[in-house]
Amino acid sequence: MYDVIVIGGGPSGLMAAIAAAEKGAKTMLIEKGKKLGKKLAISGGGRCNVTNRLPEDEVIKHIPGNGRFLYSAFSVFNNYDIISFFEELGVELKEEDHGRMFPVSNSAKTVVNALINKLEELNVNMQLETEVGAIHFAIDEPHQVILKNKQTYTTKSVVIAVGGKAVPHTGSTGDGYAWAKKAGHTITELYPTEVALTSKETFIQNKSLQGLSLRDVALSVLNKRGKPIITHKMDMLFTHFGVSGPAVLRCSQFVVKELMKGRDQIEMHLDVIPQKKEHVLLDETFKAIKDHPKRSIKTILKGLVPERLLEYLLQINDIAPEQNGANISNESIRSIIADMKNFTFAVEGSLPLEKAFVTGGGVSIKEIIPNTMQSKLMEGLFFCGEILDIHGYTGGYNITSALVTGRLAGSNAAD
Ligand SMILES: Cc1cc2nc3c(=O)[nH]c(=O)nc-3n(C[C@H](O)[C@H](O)[C@H](O)COP(=O)(O)OP(=O)(O)OC[C@H]3O[C@@H](n4cnc5c(N)ncnc54)[C@H](O)[C@@H]3O)c2cc1C
* Region at 197 (left for phi over 0; alpha for psi -120 to 50; beta for the rest): beta
Residue having the nearest C-alpha atom to atom 29 of ligand 1: 10
Q: pLDDT per residue over 394-406, tens digit each?
A: 999 999 999 999 9
Residue 363 Cβ contacting ligand 1 at under 6 Å? no
Q: pLDDT per residue over 144-190, tens digit each?
A: 999 999 999 999 999 999 999 999 999 999 999 999 999 999 999 99
Give residue 381's pLDDT band: very low, low, confident or very high (50, 70, 90): very high
Mutate to test the pocket of ligand 1, among 47, 390, 399 (most ligand atoms within 8 A of CB): 399
Q: Over the Cα atoms of the chain, what is R_g? A: 25
Give residue 239's pLDDT band: very low, low, confident or very high (50, 70, 90): very high
Q: pLDDT per residue over 48-76, tens digit each?
A: 999 999 999 999 999 999 999 999 999 99
CA dihedral 174, 179, 182, 184 (to 10 degrees): -80
Pick from 52, 63, 111, 120: which is nearest to 87 by CA? Answer: 111
Residue 45 has pLDDT above 90, yes or no: no
Residue 408 Cβ contacting ligand 1 at under 6 Å? no
Q: How many helices (H) and strands (E) does the chain have?
A: 14, 19
Residue 386 Cβ contacting ligand 1 at under 6 Å? yes
Residue 44 has pLDDT above 90, yes or no: no
Residue 163 Cβ contacting ligand 1 at under 6 Å? yes
Structural domains of the chain, with CATH: 2-191+359-414 (3.50.50.60), 196-350 (no CATH)
Q: pLDDT per residue over 200-225, tens digit each?
A: 999 999 999 999 999 999 999 999 99
Query: Is the separation of the CB atoms in 40 and 68 below 8 Å?
Result: no
Query: 108 C-alpha vs ligand 1 centroid, how far in Å?
Result: 14
Distance from C-alpha of 403 to C-alpha of 39, rounded to nearest angstrom: 13
Residue 343 Cβ contacting ligand 1 at under 6 Å? no
411 SS3 class: helix
Residue having the nearest C-alpha atom to atom 19 of ligand 1: 398
Residue 30 Cβ contacting ligand 1 at under 6 Å? yes
Distance from C-alpha of 303 to C-alpha of 292, rounded to nearest angstrom: 16
Residue having the nearest C-alpha atom to atom 38 of ligand 1: 162
Which DSSP letter does residue 225 get? T
Query: 16 C-alpha vs ligand 1 centroid, how far in Å?
Result: 14
Distance from C-alpha of 415 to C-alpha of 413, rounded to nearest angstrom: 5
